[in-house]
Structures are given as structure tokens and as C-alpha cells.
Amino acid sequence: MTKRGYFIYTFGCQMNERDSESLAGFLQQMGYDKALAPEDASVILINTCCVRESAEKKILGRLGELNKYKKEDSNVIIGIGGCMVQQPGMSEKIRNSYRHVDIIFGTHNLHQLPLLIEQCHQSKNRVVDVWDSEGEVVEDLPERTVEGIKAHVTIMYGCNNYCSYCIVPYVRGRERSRQPKDIVAEVENLVRQGVKEVTLLGQNVNSYGKDMNPPLSFGALLQDVNGVEGLERIRFTTSHPKDFDPTLIEAMARAPKVCEQIHLPVQAGSNAVLEAMNRGYKREDYIELIAKIRQALPNVALTTDLIIGFPGEREEDFNDTLDLLEKVRFDNAFTFLYSRRSGTPAAEMENQVSDEVKRERFQRLLQLQNKISLEHNQKLLGQVVEVLVEGPSKTNPDKLTGRSEGNKIVVFDGQPDLVGQLVSVKIEEARTWTLLGQIL
Ligand code: SAH
Ligand code: SF4
Ligand code: F3S
């Protein structure tokens, strides 16, 4: 009997996870079932990321390992697609060095997967199709079926910002927004399936709708999504400081389902580095923006992304980043060591920082941020937070877990029938990454 299972490995960001859901949907439409392990699958895909070299290394390692499934059964189809493949020369490299790969596709033609699989079946040949540039937004993606109470909804594709270190604009193309009616219809469909919380995704959601005629605003979209009955919570990511329009703060306040939580990547605290990064703001602008946000939303939870060891980052620049962390006091920060991406301007810059210096700075930064994160959580001791219950805690299956409005993990006692409900939890213990408490 031929196997009809599929297995997808996903690397990278939430947008990629969302893309993998679409790939899964296409395979289901073709009659494949989700396999629990790659050995049970007749189609194995890798959806790739290339934002840092470490991701690429892992992916190529995994791709090599997949050869064993092909050796066991030559009918198994192995495919690779997504951001990494979109880089110049990469699909040739894969074609030449990984002979067991049957299908190669890019970020702009995910929707062609069924066609590529058909072609591969018919011709018994390898099929490579990577589009150089983005086409129109494709809306006839498979109807989504979701498990659980949280889902991601892509509201726009691509990025126009060209931060000097970043590969994303090259592999994801220019910004293209989806129509609000299509986004709302997708959210309504998710809610019918039991979803209570959606996260709206884009590389820079603040420029949502600017590519449309007439232009639309992200604030108006929040209002539209807020109107979906049965939906409890809305989050969004990522915001860009240079485009964060203060009217969005008002829009957040007007749309009660929007959580008071903002992920606002600053990347660095030194003006020299920010300029070299082509970020379009100064540290003073960022600090002022945060003050405005906190004034309007005093309980807002703020998180950020930081890059350590950007070319030319001196000790004094790094100290500016530490100083910014002390001033802004993020709830949490995601920190990355700068990774040289070929084709980006920063890769050509002189004064690349050594790995040793990057790692040493990383440790110092982590120590400071962990202390601040813990202090934020300790402030919640004795307070009551509203939690959307997700299910049993992974680390402690006798207990339930969920997220607070500020997106913090909360663990507490309770019955599984509370899943999907909003409950009030009194915080009794605060750790760096988790809050523990009791339901009121
Ligand atoms: N569009 C989003 C995030 C894109 S990628 C934004 O602008 O914030 C997610 C994070 O990866 C970035 O915020 C950045 O911190 C990090 N990143 C991007 N390119 C990188 C590189 N070359 N090396 C290290 N980190 C990088
Ligand atoms: Fe990359 Fe900058 Fe675009 Fe974010 S805004 S995806 S960091 S180029
Ligand atoms: Fe990676 Fe592509 Fe996302 S490069 S971070 S998967 S947009």
C-alpha cells in the first residue's frame, strides 16, 4: 500500500509557520494526511528560514538527513521551499549537492505546491520553480482547519525597509497588504472553529494598507477585526518604531479586544549603530515613543528584538544598548548575535565584530534583561491578571497554563474544561519567564 502521509519541518518566524499551515492545507486537499513522523510520510517538506546563518546550517543538515527516507523508499517526495531557497544561487546549490531533493519552490509560489507534486509524479523528474519576484496576493489558499484557541493571520507580505543587516526584503519581496474583508473572513472562520485569540502578522504591520488605493490604515483594520463576534483577543506583530503612528495607540484603546502588548524591535541603543542599520530613528525618538505609549497605556507590556555585534559596534555603542534597556525596561527582549547575510550591505562593512566579543556582550545583556524581566514579573505579585486558558502546562501537566494580556505565561490549578475561557488569576509567585497563581 502506498503511504499517503505528509510531514513538514518549519524553521523561522510566525509567518513561516502560517505558510506551513497553507502547505499542509494543500496537501490535505490532495488527499494526504498529517503523519506523526517523517518515516510515515510520502511527502516530506522543509519550509526554510535564512535570517541568520545558524538557521541555514541546521536546515542543510536536516536536508542531508532526509536522504535516508529516499533510500528506504524511492517514491517518497522530498521538497524544500521558503526564504532560504529564494537567495541567489541557492536552488542550484541544493540541486547539485542534494540529489535526493525532488521539489524546490520559493516564497512567492507556495500555492503551486499541488502542481509541482503532480509534475513530479508524472515526470518522475525533479521539479524546480522559484519565482524571482512577488506576484499578486493569492487569496485562494486552502480553507484553514485549526486546533486550539490561538491562531496567526498574515495581513501583509514582504518588507520595504531594507535594514542593512536583513535578508527578509530580498527573499520575501515588497510589501503587499491583504484586503480587510479577506482578513476578517479568515478570522470569522477561525472563530467558528473555536479560536479565541488571533495574532495579526506582518514584517511591519504599521505600514499595513499603505500600498493600497486608496490607502488603508492598520488602526482601521484593528477596528474591523475587533468587530468579529466571539473573538476575545487580538495581538499583532511586528511593529516598526519609525512607522509607529501615535494614532495607533488611540486605535488600540478604541478596540477593547486588542491586548495591551507591543513588540517593538529597537535592535540597538546607539545612534551610530542605528544609522548604520538604516533603521530610520534615533534612540531619543524611540525613548520618546515608549513614553507616549506608556502614558496612554500604563499597563502595556513591551518586548523588543536586539542585535549584538553589528559591524562597527564599539564598547561604547554596546553600553548605549545596555543604557537603553535600563531606561525603557522591556518586559522581555529577544537577542540575536549579528549574522552576516550575503547580499546585504552590512555583510560588506568593515569592522566585523568577533564571535568572542559578541558572545561576551550577549552574556552581559542577558544578565541585565533577566533581572529587569524578573522585576517586572515581581510587580505583579498579589495582582489579579486575566488569563486565556490554553491547556495543561508542559512542564507541570497537573496544572493549567495560559497567557496574560501582556502575553506572559501563567501557570495555575484548574480543570481542563476551562480551556478557551478567560479566567482571573491571582499571582502568587513570580519567576523570570513564568508567573504562578490561583484562579479566583
Ligand atoms: N520585521 C521584523 C522582524 C524581522 S526578523 C522587524 O523589523 O522587527 C526578526 C529579527 O531577527 C529582527 O528583529 C532582528 O533582530 C533579527 N535579525 C534580522 N537579521 C539579522 C541578522 N543578519 N543577524 C542577526 N539577527 C538578525
Ligand atoms: Fe528585516 Fe528590517 Fe524588514 Fe524587519 S523591517 S524584516 S528587520 S528589513
Ligand atoms: Fe526567516 Fe523568512 Fe521569517 S528569513 S524570519 S522565515 S521571513
| Ligand 2 near 148 CB (within 6 A) | no
Q: How far apart are CA 34 and CA 402, in angstroms?
A: 26
- Give dist(CA 87, CA 92) in Å, integer: 10
Same domain as 298, residue 282: yes
Quick one: 425 and 310 in the same domain? no
182 burial via Cβ count (<10 Å: 0-12, 13-18, 19+) = middle
301 phi/psi in degrees, rounded to 5:
-95, 130
Per-residue pLDDT band at 159 (split at 50, 70, 90): very high
At residue 364 the predicted structure's pLDDT band, cuts being 50, 70 and 90, is very high
Residue 302 domain-assigned (yes or no): yes
Interval between CA 203 and ligand 3 midpoint (Å): 9
Residue 49 and residue 172 share a domain: no
Mutate to test the pocket of ligand 2, among 204, 208, 239 (most ligand atoms within 8 A of CB): 204
Q: What is the DSSP letter of 125?
A: S
Domain of residue 410, CATH code: 2.40.50.140
143 found inside a domain: no
* Annotated binding residue 50: no
> Considering every ligand atom, which ligand is closest to the CA of 238?
1
Residue ranges making up the domain that contains 90: 5-129
Q: Which pTM was predicted?
A: 0.95
The answer to whether position 349 is within a domain reads: yes
Residue 281 belongs to a domain: yes
Q: What percent of the chain has pLDDT over 90?
A: 90
- Do 350 and 201 fall within a single domain? yes
Is the Cβ–Cβ distance between 218 and 206 less than 8 Å? yes
Same domain, 333 and 194: yes
User: What is d(CA 288, CA 266) in angstroms, rounded to the nearest whole number?
Assistant: 13
- The answer to whether residue 135 is domain-embedded is no
Ligand 1 atom nearest 346 alpha carbon: 22
Cell 560588506 belongs to residue = 348
> Is the domain of 302 the same as that of 154?
yes
Concatenated DSSP letters of 74-90: TT-EEEEEEGGGGSTTH
pLDDT tens digits for range 268-326: 999 999 999 999 999 999 999 999 999 999 999 999 999 999 999 999 999 999 999 99
> Does 128 have pLDDT greater than 70?
yes
Q: What number is the average pLDDT over the span 165-179?
A: 96
Whole-number Å distance between alpha carbons of 122 and 102: 12
Encode pLDDT of 187-218 as tens digits: 999 999 999 999 999 999 999 999 999 999 99
Place of cell 544609522: 275
Q: Are residue 307 and residue 161 in the same domain, yes or no?
A: yes
Relative to the alpha carbon of 14, which ligand is closest?
3
Q: What is the pLDDT of residues 331-362, one digit of tens each?
A: 999 999 999 999 999 999 999 999 999 999 99
Query: Residue 117, class by beta-carbon neighbours within 10 Å (0-12 exposed, 13-18 middle, 19+ buried)?
Result: buried
- Ligand 1, atom 13, lies closest to the CA of 305
Residue nearest to atom 2 of ligand 2 (CA): 163
* Beta bridge partners of residue 425, listed in sequence order: 385, 439
Q: What's the rounded mean pLDDT across residues 119-144?
A: 83
Q: Is the CB of 51 under 6 A from ligand 1?
A: yes
- Decide whether any atom of ligand 1 lies within 6 Å of the 172 Cβ: no
CA distances from 203 to 15, 75, 243 (A): 9, 38, 12
3 has a pLDDT exceeding 80: no
368: CATH: 3.80.30.20
Share of the chain above pLDDT 70, in %: 99
**HSE toward the beta carbon, residue 389, CA cutoff 13 A:** 20
**140 lies in a domain?**
no
pLDDT of residue 1: 45
Residue 39 near residue 75, CB atoms below 8 Å: no
Is the CB–ligand 2 distance for residue 334 below 6 Å?
A: no
Q: Which atom of ligand 1 is nearest to the CA of 263?
A: 8
The full DSSP string for 236-271 is: EE---GGG--HHHHHHHHH-TTB-SEEE---B-S-H
The answer, yes or no, to whether any atom of ligand 1 lies below 6 A from the CB of 264, is: no
| pLDDT reported for residue 132 | 82
Q: How would DSSP label each residue in 422-435?
A: EEEEEEEEE-SSEE
163 has binding-site annotation: yes
Peptide bond preceding 238: is omega within 30 degrees of 0, i.e. cis? yes
To the nearest 10°, report the CA torsion of 297, 159, 56, 269. Answer: -50
* 197 and 324 housed in the same domain: yes
pLDDT of residue 136: 78
How much distance in Å is there from the Cα of 94 to the middle of ligand 3? 19
What confidence tier does 131 reach under pLDDT thresholds 50, 70, 90?
confident
Structural domain count of the chain: 3
Give the end of a domain, one of 378, 396, 427.
Answer: 378
Q: What is the pLDDT of residues 404-417, one digit of tens each?
A: 999 999 999 999 99
Tell which of 356, 378, 400 closes a domain: 378
11: CATH = 3.40.50.12160
If asked whether residues 202 and 233 sit together in one domain, one would say yes
Of the residues 303, 305, 341, which should be mutated to test ligand 1's pocket, given the most ligand atoms within 8 Å of the CB?
305
Q: Which ligand is nearest to the CA of 172?
A: 3
Does some domain include residue 134?
no
Q: Check whether 83 is labelled as a binding-site residue.
A: yes
Separation in Å, CA 264 to CA 166, 238, 239, 292, 381:
16, 7, 5, 13, 26
How far apart are the two ends of the chain, measured CA to CA in Å?
A: 55
CB of 408 shorter than 6 A to ligand 1: no
Contacts (Cβ under 8 Å, ≥6 apart) of 252: 219, 222, 258, 260, 297
317 in the same domain as 176: yes
**15, 336, 359: residue to mutate for ligand 1 pocket, most atoms within 8 A of CB:** 336
Looking at residue 288, its pLDDT comes to: 97
Domain boundary residue, one of 99, 129, 159 = 129
Q: Are residues 225 and 355 in the same domain?
A: yes
User: For residue 135, with 0-12 CB atoms within 10 Å meaning exposed, 13-18 middle and 19 or more buried, which class applies?
Assistant: exposed
* Nearest CA residue ID for atom 1, ligand 1: 203
- Which protein residues touch ligand 3 with a CB less than 6 Å away? 12-13, 15-16, 49-51, 83, 168, 171-172
At residue 247, what are phi and psi to the nearest 5 degrees? -65, -20
Both 176 and 114 in a single domain? Answer: no
Please indicate, yes or no, if residue 351 is contained in any of the structural domains. yes
259 among the known binding-site residues? Answer: no
| Residue nearest atom 7 of ligand 3, based on CA coordinates | 168
Give the CB-side neighbour count of residue 23, counting CA atoms within 13 A: 30
